[in-house]
Chains A and B, each alone.
Chain A
Amino acid sequence: MLDLVEYAVKLASDLGASYGEARYHGINGFTIYTRNGNVMGSGITSRRGIAVRVVVNGALGFAATPELTRDGVRKTVEKAVSLAKAVSQLMKKPLRQDDSRLGRARYSVVARKPFDSIPLDEKVNYMTGLWRNIQGSTKEARIPVLTVTYNEWTEEKIIVNSDGGYVESSIPRITMYYNMVVTSPAKGSLQRWEQLGGSGGLELLEKWRLHEKLPEEVGRYEEILFKALPPPTDPVDVIVGSEIVGLVVHESCGHPSEADRIMGREAAQAGKSFIKPGMQGSRIGNEYATVIDDPTIPGSYGFYLYDDEAVPARARYLYKEGVIYEHLQNRFTAPFYNTRSNGAARAMDYASEPIIRMANTYLKPGDMSFEELLESVKRGVYIKSYMEWNIDDERWSQRYVGLEAYMIENGELKGYVRNPVLEVTTKSFYSSIDGVDRNLEFYAGTCGKGEPSQGVPVWFGGPNVKLKNIRLRSTVG
Chain B
Amino acid sequence: MLRNQLAGISAVLFVGFALGGATTLASTTVYSLNSAGLPGGVFNGVDGWSQSEANFSIEYPRSYVQPFSGGVTGFSVGGFYDTEPFTGGNRLAVSRSISGHGARGAFLEVAFQLRDSEVLINPGNPGEGYFDTDRNQFSLGFSDLVSVVFQPVSQSADPSSDAAAWSPLISVGGGQEAFAGAQLQEDGLYTLGISLTGFSNGLRYAATLTDLGGTSLLSSGVIPGTSLSDPLPEVEVGWSLSGSEADGLGSNVIAISSLIVTVPEPSLPALCLVALLPLICFRKRER
Answer yes or no: do A and B interact: no
| B contacts, CB < 8 Å to A | none
| A contacts, CB < 8 Å to B | none
